[in-house]
Structure 1
């Protein structure tokens, strides 16, 4: 009888140990599941941050703007001017680029002796400190040079830059003031377009050796 009691007691102890082990196992599984959920959530957040950082970096190292062409206009109020008095530059959003707010863009132009820094101002005369723009093609009919000068994909925009070294005048329907630049024949001209985001876009050309009797001169490309 005593032996039977001892045997039963041993069996009861084994059962308790088994239940304890099961509880520990379940706890370990729960901890592992919680840890896995935290890791998955953290990896998702990190992936989103990495993607956003990558897109921002791509925007910073790529140019949003493409320069297509540039023409020089000579004043012909009386006789044809000896110099180029107005610069017209056609631009668009580059492939893969994003919309560009021209009010946030800065243009630098130099004739080798004088350098002007220009910002967008649709209400002022073109001068040594301002440029303006008009749409040639507006894909979604959203561009407004007064209230919304934002260039979207598919748009074709013309920028106007004063290059005259004389007084106020009207050239090609644009009110132009002196820029102190002198774009006579064989002038090396450098322009830099710096948008709000993306790398600056540079353009350079040398004016023709002779202007002849042409009012409009193709300068770029």
Structure 2
């Protein structure tokens, strides 16, 4: 029987030692740092994407919807009425899926084609540094409407040219008040904008309000065949624009349907 012979050969191709261990540990540390940076970055990007998506959704869905607009003429009696519209009565709601809208931050721009008013809610003191003259968050909507039509102050001037007021129609969650007019989906409210012209200051009544001939001019003139431009700009969300033309004659009507 042939004798089996074994031999050992030296393999000098591998590298073993402290240098290899150091390189391995360094690679592990670099991978750990890179992973940590990626995880942190992805978390920040996720938060930013969530916030951006939420803001984008709010901007698209949160807006007022005009239901109707009526014009009311000042009068002394059923046969003695102003030639121009003295008050705009606008019924508004919210778009489906809309976030809550704070009417205290709403800006309404109204133009008669020549004159232009930017109006804010009577309880907003941020723009002029003062509330609408004689406005009270504890008063009724009609009381504040009366003050809108009849009161004035040194700055900024007549309420009619700088402010608007609101009354609620439907408010199931009781989120709406004169001091904090918050609208949610399903709510309905009426926005009042004074359009009393300088030639119609002697009439005693405007809609439900007894003005006793003390109404103030708005600087607007809404006569027959007048183009009215309305822009509603909420704090967040899309703006609402309406352009309409008044009838060629008001006849003997006290209330004129303007929209739709």
The TM-score normalised by the length of structure 1 is 0.81
The 2-side partners of 1:164 and 1:21 are apart by: 90
Partner of 2:103: 102
Maintained 8 Å contact 1:162/1:177: no
Partner of 1:4: none
Structure that is richer in helix per residue? 1
Q: Matched residue pairs, number?
A: 211
Partner of 1:150: 182
Partner of 2:128: none
The 2-side partners of 1:16 and 1:206 are apart by: 91
* CA 1:177–1:21: 2 relative to 1, 3 Å: same
The 2-side partners of 1:170 and 1:143 are apart by: 27
Partner of 1:190: 229
Give the match's secondary structure for 1:46.
helix
Maintained 8 Å contact 1:93/1:153: yes
The 2-side partners of 1:14 and 1:163 are apart by: 96
Shift of 1:17: 1.6
The 1-side partners of 2:171 and 2:87 are apart by: 23
Give the match's secondary structure for 1:76.
strand
The root-mean-square deviation of aligned C-alpha atoms, in Å, is 2.9
The 2-side partners of 1:121 and 1:68 are apart by: 22
The 2-side partners of 1:20 and 1:95 are apart by: 68
Maintained 8 Å contact 1:193/1:200: yes
Gap runs ≥5 in structure 2: 1-7, 124-134, 136-146, 150-159
The 2-side partners of 1:192 and 1:177 are apart by: 23
Q: Which region of structure 1 is more displaced relative to structure 2, 130-139 or 108-117?
A: 108-117
The 2-side partners of 1:15 and 1:209 are apart by: 101
Maintained 8 Å contact 2:99/2:184: yes
